[in-house]
Structure 1
Amino acid sequence: MTATLVRFGTKAETLKALEPLLASGKVLPAVHFTVRDWSEDRAEVIGRILRSPWAAGPLAVRSSAQGEDSLLASQAGRFHTSLGVVGRDALERAVERVIASYDGPDGDHQVLVQPQLTNVSASGVACSCDPSSGAPYRVLTWLDGGGTDAVTSGRGEGVRTWYGAVEAVRAGTTRPPVAHLAGVLALVTEVVALTGHDRVEVEFAVTTDGDVVLLQARPLVVQPSEVGARAHSALLGAVADRWADSAANTGKVLGSRPLYGVMPDWNPAEIIGVRPRPLALSLYRRLITDRTWARSRAAYGYRDLTGVPLLVDFAGIPYVDVRASFSSFVPAALPDGLAGRLVDHYTTRLADNLHLHDKVEFTIVLSCNSFDLRRQVAELADHGFGAADRALVRRSLVALTNRLLAPDGAWRRDVRLLERLPTDDDDAGAALTACVEYGALPFAGLARAGFVGVQLLDGLVASGVLSQADRAALLGGLRTVASAITEDFATLDRAAFLERYGHLRPGTYDILSPRYDEAPDLYFDWARGMSPPAGAEVFRPSAAQRRAIRELLREAGFTCTADELLYFIGESIKERERAKFEFTRVLSDVLVTARRTGRSHGFDAEDISYVEIDTLTALRGDASDRAALGRAVESGRGRHAGTRSVLLPPLLLSPEDAWGFELPDLVPNFVTQLRVRAPVADIERGDAPEGAIAFVAGADPGYDWLFARGIRALVTAYGGMNSHMAIRAQELGIPAVMGVGERKFALWRRAEVLDLDCANRMVEVLS
């Protein structure tokens, strides 16, 4: 390792030490002084600043506190910064504001004054490793143009983030998408070499002249990665090879453009997370994505992809095979050639609009009849589909949807199938088999029916027949299993409530997440109590609305009546939630059995989380079980360490994405038309949810307890408009922003207070 030439001190001291040594960037001239200097002779300090040749222009007055950028804590953004300071009086006020932001009267705290850059073409923050995990990546977060604090303040729009694997950056095989940022990578590498710290963060600006300016350098307070750069590079090579192998293995899958995403269709990022442990991942595969998803879709009249796994994992990170998903949304009646061209059209459209990756069923694929299907099909003409093709696509979707809404539609069969789900089998293998056939399979079908119901409901709103208030009233009047939780918490005693809902857990597939009945006080404030919610009025359309619905149905080719349509919308949404509730009861019990099995052989839940479900169900019940579990735990733990070190984009378009990628700027899904200003509660960190905007990365049904704790709003990193929590928030009239993406989620979660305005589709950091 290079000998340490520069020792990290305060912000001002570090910049002063680096300034004469940097070859890849420059440091602005500066004056710094202590709080003691200021209190003893502020006139001398001001005079020293004003005598500087750069003092006439706008100044930046920054904090440089003791311990602000230490090896133990960065305290980044904690203290005040004043920009655009001009004149003696403004300078004095700015210094006073910085000093006032310090904790206590420590006279050794410093203040740093520099000229403010005005010719900025880009500015941001660069890290020598992933700041969350320590994984070996160079990470650039920047804004083109704008002020130098646009990224660090959290208020800039258009912020971009790029990741490049360290070994690929060193080899020059991956580069940031903006040419002038190459100099920033060189700056980071040089700061690493000059300080001897391989985990550093720099704030930078690039001028219109192409100069790279170092604004700040500090050690990153993050644990080193468990995987070194070379081993990490081998992992990424395996990811690229896996991409190529999976892309070549098409079978029943249509289309010529491979594409993988964490949120389309069965959205694993929302349900099991982007880095699930082996047990959770294997359970999701067994229950849903290996066969169940395709069997259900074929039963609903779509193309049969039975035998094709929907999920492909890259170094343990689960992705949906988008071509397989899109193929399964094609009506079975369409011929192969037309079906293949449709899938190619869908994948191309998604690749050109990455921000739609969690909205594919609303914005990309045509999967059912709707009130504007004629318009959607007509747009295919611009993409090479002739009149006969378009007519066939429309006829097949109309017929498929009419069969679904018919009195003997597949969704009604699934409702009956769900009634056969057993709930008392202690044998994990037998319980899983039953759960697939009588739980997951009907749930998969009812989830599809629920999506069609929501799409038709939104179509009634888009056509002007129903208002947003009517939509909210219709959903609010449905007594779903989810909405019953809040009501029952207010009316049932503790034992009765837990008897009914005790199997739920945040992280439905996660053995490490306690069930409600295992840690009730973690989720519910029993002493606080809650008044029963006011009974929602059942939505009843007016005579004029009924007539309008009948006319829409006739024009669109539906064969159902207005009453049958409204019944389907309500029942499909309710039954989807009930199916999820019932099948997760069995899944939750399987996890309890798995934990019990592990304990009997000397392994705790943490250990068993690394064991795939096939290993657990194949145990022989003899002395060999302990050794088999031990090998599985060790293997799974090692593989998951690699998984934690890998960062990939939400959509994999090519094997090269394994080495470097820019995060797409995702478009969040705003739920309700409401607005709230409230403090932020990081639920996964243990913050109290009452009266706050609750932040949860991926909100599955196990997070329903939040609604019984009086949250003001909800924000998730993953999740679409048709997700469980989105429907739930709409029912209760609680504003929510779903699927904001990792970057915005991390940025907003660090705020103290947010202004969340769903009607205007805006989120603003207030403090």
Structure 2
Amino acid sequence: MEHQVKQAQSKAEILEILHQAGFNVPPLLYFSVQEWFDSQDTVLVRIKSSFGGAIGKIAVRSSCRQEDTVSCSNAGVFESILNVPVDQENAICQAVKQVIDSYGVNTAKDQVLIQQMVVGTVMSGVIMTRAADDGAPYYVLNYDDETSQTDTVTSGVGGKTVYVYRGFRNTDFDSPRLLELVYLARRLENFFHSDALDIEFCRDLAGCIYVLQVRPIAVAGKWAAEIVDQTAHGISFVEDFVERLSSPRPGLFGQRTLFGVMPDWNPAEIIGVTPRPLATSLYRHLITQRVWSLAREKMGYRSVPPEELMLILAGRPYIDVRCSFNSFLAAGILDDTAELLVNAWLDRLDKNPELHDKVEFGIVSTVYDFTFQQTIAARYPGLLSGQRFDQVSSCYQYLTRQNVSAEASSPLMVALGTLERLVMSQKSFHDSCVLGKQPYALLAWVRKLLEECRTLGTLPFSMIARHAFMAEALLRSAVDRHAMLPERLRTFRKSVKTITSVMSTDMQSVAKGGLSPGDFMSRYGHLRPGTYDILSPRYADRPEVLAGLYTSTTYCHEPFELEPAEKRNLDQLLHEAGLGHLQAEELLLYAEKAIAGREYAKFIFTRSLSDALESLAVWGDVIGLTRDDLSWLNIEDLLRVSIAPLLSMPREYFEPLIRQGKNISDAGKNLKLGYLIRSCRDVYVVPQHRSTPNWVTRRHVEGKVVRLDSTSRGDLDLNGCIVCIENADPGYDWLFTRCIAGLVTQYGGANSHMAIRCSENDIPAAIGCGQILFDKVAAAKRCELDAERQSLHPL
């Protein structure tokens, strides 16, 4: 048999050998191109006699000598025609002709493969026995178990993806079906004496798995030899880390934890899935080390131990979900009740991973909104007794009453006032006062900028962002209670004038000649697509951002006025919720100031951060470090130099640290980690990100797809295009002056910056659609985005 495998020259011959060896292969026959031309009638008789039974449908498939070779797969290059009626000679002849014509210049020895169609297909797909891009030791299962078609995965239309580490244990699987597929792959590996196989399969209603094709992975020769050992070494440390942090921890409620890239403070959206050390450490320094919990504590949430919110697994930032959920407990909730709640929240996210980027709208109720009690009872029936239920309700009700106000002395307005102190300090910063300073003074200046950014910027921003979440929850629940229609809520949102809509207006003014580019850059030049990324150029360094602007009509933010019935309804709901100190108009004023304030706060604190990055770049240039060098260093390592003098030349001191940052990043990229890690098992069996997008507007558009990143030029012609961005922040606001038709992002929540901007501009969007769908759409030439029917399809 081994000799036969080595002698096999085509897809058809390989499948015949597999059939003889006992693998499930649909009945087949094949013939050469020469046979077809010489004796077409004889071949047709063979086809009819072989497949003319009750099934009546065949697949006419390519089996060309140019495909499935060790050096080149030519996957998808040649035609295959499915569901051809076996009793229709014309249909068979036409299908065979299409297949042969697809070979181009064919040889007499090229073949055509005929197979019986598998009836009742419930699953189909492709198994790679190594990750094709880098050779990492994972089985890569890409499959469709929804359409009952056998070619959706190979044609790139749909599918789910799961990575399975080759050193898995059977207990790592939730799905027996996937385990069966991996064992099929192992049988084929043993048969072919190769771990670099590309296997096409399908499964029928009876659970029988059919092999449709096996070929070598053509790029295997390019893989690094050490990747298997590197991955094995790294995955053991990640497993140990996850296991240790998943056990109970003093001062935290919850018997375990989960790790996710989006449940809180959205690191995947803000700094990316695999950020470099400088960006990661800055995000930690400014947000996830202490600011995140301190802000919530100041607003009346429970004080939590000094735990880190963000952890780094193989170079990827993850949120410790238990820490996050503890910080959402209202102060005053009894300890035993808090334990019940956190465990219930963790269990719900475990069972509903698609909610990983919607925890405040699908898992945890963090504000006493108008459906608070109904929501708790529906999500967690029987969890809390009557007395516990009342105590939890009372604590959140008090927290909400203390925060929901737009009066001058309210927490929201105090936080907004703190920002103005930062604005005053920023006016003292000028490039000229930095460029001439000595290295020590430059680093001292960076330290000052970051400290002010943290205490006067990200801390009040964190509080204002929480107020915006509160406002959103109250307004959504008002719609749920029929106090106002969804359309009216959308109208209200569009009426809110934010700093980013002001910026769009100013861009239009530049286009019309009313504002000079210099004046525009003095206001907005600090913005960059990657807020924490020193390699991401500022607007001030990208003059093309202002080139080719469209002088379209700027959206007018018309004042929103409640209708009498809406006012009565909202006043009644506020009274029922114990928020009678507010009237309906005051609630909307609070929401307006919170939503606009969040965007303003982000705009202000990012100026200090941007100035710190530029000052750091100047310091690096003085001592001989490039921006790229700096991006591989932690901010703590850099600032330490300002208090502890170096005992060697700067380049000599930092070179090992730069190399270490690169090595950790390279090693981490070999590991395939998911968007949500629920236990150590998820380190070995890794489903890729499939998420329900957050839909914006109710519009439907079709258009050309353009994929952008932080290095994309700002003068691209995007008129009528649907733009795809992995993760987006204010640095991409120039998009809204380019008359784009729609927006698709891989990461992002319902309250993300881009969701708000799209709502303001009435641009249909799919925010946070997940890796699988995003990659398919971004790779397409055109796509259809239907926000009303909540569908997104590549065309």
What is the TM-score of this pair, normalised by structure 1? 0.90
Q: Distance in 1 between matches of 2:537 and 2:10?
A: 43
Aligned to 2:552, what secondary structure does the other structure show? coil
Q: Distance in 2 between matches of 1:600 and 1:220?
A: 47
**Structure 2: segments with no counterpart, 5+ residues:** 435-441, 511-515
Choose which of 538, 554, 572 in structure 2 pairs with 1:515: 538
1:669 aligns with 2:669: no
Offset of residue 573 of structure 1: 0.5
1:563 aligns with 2:565: no
Structure 2 counterpart of 1:88, which letter?
Answer: E
Q: Deviations over 1:719-747 (max 9, x none)?
A: 11111111111111111112222222223
The structure-2 alpha-carbon separation of the partners of 1:732 and 1:632, relative to structure 1 and needing over 3 Å to count, comes to: same
Superposed counterparts of 1:18-57, under 5 Å = 19=18, 26=25, 29-31=28-30, 33=32, 43=40, 47=44, 50=47, 53-54=50-51, 57=56
Q: Distance in 2 between matches of 1:616 and 1:181?
A: 47
| Contact 1:197–1:219, Cα closer than 8 Å, also in 2 | no
Offset of residue 125 of structure 1: 0.9
Q: Distance in 2 between matches of 1:37 and 1:749?
A: 43
Aligned to 1:333: 332
Q: Distance in 1 between matches of 2:627 and 2:187?
A: 44
The structure-2 alpha-carbon separation of the partners of 1:201 and 1:706, relative to structure 1 and needing over 3 Å to count, comes to: farther
Aligned to 1:302: 301
Structure 2 counterpart of 1:706, which letter?
Answer: L
Aligned to 2:437: none
Q: Deviations over 1:530-552 (max 9, x none)?
A: 32424232222222322222122
Q: Distance in 2 between matches of 1:80 and 1:479?
A: 54
Structure 2 counterpart of 1:224, which letter?
Answer: W
Q: Distance in 1 between matches of 2:145 and 2:575?
A: 51
| Contact 1:136–1:225, Cα closer than 8 Å, also in 2 | no
Choose which of 527, 550, 556 in structure 1 pairs with 2:571: 550
Aligned to 2:684: 659
Does 507-516 or 42-51 show the bigger shift?
A: 42-51
Choose which of 184, 203, 209 in structure 1 pairs with 2:200: 203
| Contact 1:735–1:758, Cα closer than 8 Å, also in 2 | yes
Aligned to 1:136: 137
The structure-2 alpha-carbon separation of the partners of 1:342 and 1:148, relative to structure 1 and needing over 3 Å to count, comes to: same
1:125 aligns with 2:147: no
Q: Distance in 2 between matches of 1:560 and 1:212?
A: 65
The structure-2 alpha-carbon separation of the partners of 1:173 and 1:376, relative to structure 1 and needing over 3 Å to count, comes to: closer
1:253 aligns with 2:252: yes
Q: Deviations over 1:317-361 (max 9, x none)?
A: 221111111111111122222222221221122222221111111
Choose which of 729, 733, 743 in structure 2 pairs with 1:704: 733
Choose which of 444, 459, 478 in structure 1 pairs with 2:462: 444
The structure-2 alpha-carbon separation of the partners of 1:376 and 1:20, relative to structure 1 and needing over 3 Å to count, comes to: closer
The structure-2 alpha-carbon separation of the partners of 1:354 and 1:500, relative to structure 1 and needing over 3 Å to count, comes to: same
1:585 aligns with 2:607: yes
Aligned to 1:585, what secondary structure does the other structure show? helix
Structure 1 counterpart of 2:571, which letter?
Answer: R
Aligned to 2:383: 384
Does 303-312 or 136-145 show the bigger shift?
A: 136-145
Aligned to 1:462: 480
1:749 aligns with 2:747: no
Choose which of 545, 551, 566 in structure 2 pairs with 1:530: 551
Q: Deviations over 1:572-613 (max 9, x none)?
A: 000101111111122222222333333444433333222111
Q: Deviations over 1:46-87 (max 9, x none)?
A: 647636623663122345567665677756446554211112
Aligned to 2:211: 213
| Contact 2:137–2:231, Cα closer than 8 Å, also in 1 | yes
Offset of residue 221 of structure 1: 4.4
The structure-2 alpha-carbon separation of the partners of 1:532 and 1:381, relative to structure 1 and needing over 3 Å to count, comes to: closer
1:161 aligns with 2:179: no
Q: Deviations over 1:268-320 (max 9, x none)?
A: 11112222221111111111000000110011110112522111222222211
Q: Distance in 1 between matches of 2:548 and 2:536?
A: 23
Aligned to 1:434, what secondary structure does the other structure show? helix
Choose which of 746, 749, 756 in structure 2 pairs with 1:727: 756
Does 633-642 or 550-559 show the bigger shift?
A: 550-559
Aligned to 1:690, what secondary structure does the other structure show? coil
Aligned to 2:439: none
Superposed counterparts of 1:406-417, under 5 Å = 406=405, 407=407, 408-417=409-418
Q: Distance in 2 between matches of 1:121 and 1:224?
A: 34
Q: Distance in 1 between matches of 2:41 and 2:519?
A: 73
Q: Deviations over 1:439-477 (max 9, x none)?
A: 111111111011111222222322333333322222222
Give the length in aligned residue pairs.
753
Q: Distance in 1 between matches of 2:278 and 2:113?
A: 52
Q: Distance in 2 between matches of 1:452 and 1:209?
A: 49
Choose which of 613, 618, 636 in structure 2 pairs with 1:596: 618
**Structure 1: segments with no counterpart, 5+ residues:** none
Aligned to 1:694, what secondary structure does the other structure show? strand
The structure-2 alpha-carbon separation of the partners of 1:410 and 1:71, relative to structure 1 and needing over 3 Å to count, comes to: farther
Does 107-116 or 630-639 show the bigger shift?
A: 107-116
Offset of residue 691 of structure 1: 2.0
Structure 2 counterpart of 1:632, which letter?
Answer: L
Structure 2 counterpart of 1:673, which letter?
Answer: R
1:647 aligns with 2:672: yes
1:496 aligns with 2:497: no
Does 196-205 or 568-577 show the bigger shift?
A: 196-205
Aligned to 1:141, what secondary structure does the other structure show? strand
Q: Distance in 2 between matches of 1:8 and 1:267?
A: 51
Aligned to 2:540, what secondary structure does the other structure show? coil
Structure 1 counterpart of 2:639, which letter?
Answer: T
Q: Distance in 2 between matches of 1:455 and 1:209?
A: 45
Q: Distance in 2 between matches of 1:721 and 1:365?
A: 15
| Contact 1:293–1:444, Cα closer than 8 Å, also in 2 | yes
Does 438-447 or 489-498 show the bigger shift?
A: 489-498
Percent identity between the aligned chains? 33
The structure-2 alpha-carbon separation of the partners of 1:226 and 1:413, relative to structure 1 and needing over 3 Å to count, comes to: farther
Aligned to 1:763: 792
Offset of residue 614 of structure 1: 0.7
Aligned to 2:767: 738
Q: Distance in 2 between matches of 1:401 and 1:484?
A: 30
Superposed counterparts of 1:65-144, under 5 Å = 76-77=75-76, 80-86=79-85, 87-98=88-99, 105-107=104-106, 112-144=113-145
Offset of residue 253 of structure 1: 1.8
Q: Deviations over 1:188-216 (max 9, x none)?
A: 44655677765442211234363441335
